[in-house]
Structure 1
Amino acid sequence: MPRVLSEADVADFRERLCDAAERLFVERGPDAVTMRQLAAELGVSPMTPYRYFKDKDDILAAIRTNGFDRFAEALERARERATGARAKGAAVGQAYVDFAFEHPHTYKLMFDLNQPIEGDYPELVRAARRARETMTAWVEDQKAEGVMQGDPEQIGLMFWSSVHGLVVLEMAGKLPPGTAQRMHHTIAQTLGKGLRAQS
C-alpha cells in the first residue's frame, strides 16, 4: 500500500522538482526538457512528477511564481528598511541587482521567457503584478517627499527597463562583470535629476 504523503512531504518534493526543473529549463530551454527527464533527475518513476504537477507548464508557472514573490519580497524589504525617499530608491535598486546575480536562473525564467498561457495561472499573474508594483512604490516615495515629479508607473518602467537591460547584457557576457552594479546608481541619479520636482 502506497505511503500517505504529509503536506510537508508534498511541499518538499515539489520544491526539489522545481529546483531540478529550473536548472534544466535554463540549460536546455523548457521545450527540450521532458517530464521523464525531470523524474530521472530525482530518481523517481516517470509518472511521479504528475502526482504533483499537471505538466511542464504547471512546473514552469510554479517556478516563476515563486521567483516573482521572492524578488518582490527582497525589494519590499529593502525599501522598508531604508529611511528617506532617496535612500529607499537606492536600496531598491541595489536589491534588484543583488537578486538578479544571486539567483540568475530564477531571474532568467522570470523575465526572459514568455509563457503564452500565463493567464491560466492566477497565482503567477498575482506574483508578477506584485513584482511590477515594487517598481512604482519607490517612485511614490520620491513624489511624496517632493524629490521627483511625473507618472510613477512610467518612471518605474524606465528604471526597470534600464536596470534589466544592464543585468541581461552582463549575464550574456556583453558587459564587464560589475557593470550593472555600478551603472544602476548612475541610472537612478540621472532619472532623479531629469525628473526632479521644480521648486
Structure 2
Amino acid sequence: MIVNMASPGRRRNAPKSAYHHGDLPRALVDAAQQLIEAGGGARLTLREAAQAAGVSVAAPYRHFADREALLAAVLAKGFRELAHRTDEDRRAASDAMAGLMAVGLAYVRFAADHPAIYRLMFGAECDKAAHPDLMAAGHEALTVLIEAVATCKAAGLIGDADVQQVALAGWSLSHGLASLHADGLLAAAMPGDLQATAHALMRMLIDGVRPRPG
C-alpha cells in the first residue's frame, strides 16, 4: 500500500492513481510495455515506469528488484499474449492443418503488432534463464505450435515427419519472417502484404510434410 503524504488540499486536486490497490505490479508492467513500444528497450527504467504508472519512484522496488526483473515480467506477458493469440486462432480453425497455418500467421501478426516487444522477447538484453516465469511463458508459447503439429500428426496429415522437427521448422519460418519484418528488411527484399507472404511460405512448409501418395 502506498501512503499519500500530500496535504488534504493537494490530495483533492491530485490525479487518480493509475492502478487499483493490489494491481501495482500489473500497472508497472503495462506502463513498461507502453514505454518500450513508444521508444524501445533503452527507454525503460524503473523510474520512468513508476512515473508512467503514476506512483512514487520507490514503489516498483516492492515488486521488482531491478530493471531486468521488470523487463522479464514485460516479456513474459508478451509470450503469454503470443500463446493466447496463436492458440485462439488455432482453435477457431476449420481443421488441424488450417490450425497449424493459423498458428504461423498469428505468430507473424503478433510480431508485426509489437515489434519492439518482439525484438526483446528473443533478444539478449534479458537473461531469460534467471527468470523462471519468463522461461515458462516462452515454453507456453512454443507448446501451442507443438500441439498444432501433433494434432496434424494424429490426423495423418504430416506422414512420417517428426513432430518436434516440423514444429522447429514452423517456428524458424515464422520467427525468421517476423524478425525480418520487425527490422525493416523484408519490405525491401520482398515488397507486398506480410500476411500473404507468411501464408505462401507456410503453405510451402505444410505441402512439404504432407504424406506422399502411393
Q: Given the two structures, how large is their TM-score scaled by the length of structure 1?
A: 0.83
Q: Between Structure 1 and Structure 2, whose CA radius of gyration is higher?
A: 2
| Residues 1:141 and 2:151 aligned together | yes
Of 114, 125, 132 in structure 1, the residue corresponding to residue 142 of structure 2 is 132
CA distance, structure 1, for counterparts of residue 62 and residue 117 of structure 2? 24
One-letter identity of the residue aligned with 2:70:
I
One-letter identity of the residue aligned with 2:164:
E
Residues 23 and 105, structure 1, Cα contact 8 Å, conserved in 2 = no
RMSD: 2.6
Count matched residues: 194
How far off its partner does 1:28 sit?
Answer: 4.8
- In structure 2, the partner of 1:51 is 62
CA distance, structure 2, for counterparts of residue 114 and residue 136 of structure 1? 26
- In structure 2, the partner of 1:151 is 162
Residue segments in structure 1 that go unaligned for 5+ positions in a row: none
CA distance, structure 2, for counterparts of residue 93 and residue 119 of structure 1? 26
Of 86, 89, 92 in structure 2, the residue corresponding to residue 75 of structure 1 is 86
- In structure 1, the partner of 2:194 is 180
CA distance, structure 2, for counterparts of residue 180 and residue 160 of structure 1? 16
Q: Given the two structures, how large is their TM-score scaled by the length of structure 2?
A: 0.78
How far off its partner does 1:129 sit?
Answer: 0.7
- In structure 2, the partner of 1:109 is 120
Question: Per-residue displacement from partner, 1:102-124 (whole Å, max 9, x unpaired)?
Answer: 233332222234422x2332221
Q: How has the CA–CA distance of structure 1 residues 80 and 28 changed in structure 2, closer, same or farther, with 3 Å as cutoff?
A: closer
Question: Per-residue displacement from partner, 1:7-53 (whole Å, max 9, x unpaired)?
Answer: 94231x323322332344463535x6432333344454321221232
Residues 36 and 117, structure 2, Cα contact 8 Å, conserved in 1 = no
Residue segments in structure 2 that go unaligned for 5+ positions in a row: 5-18
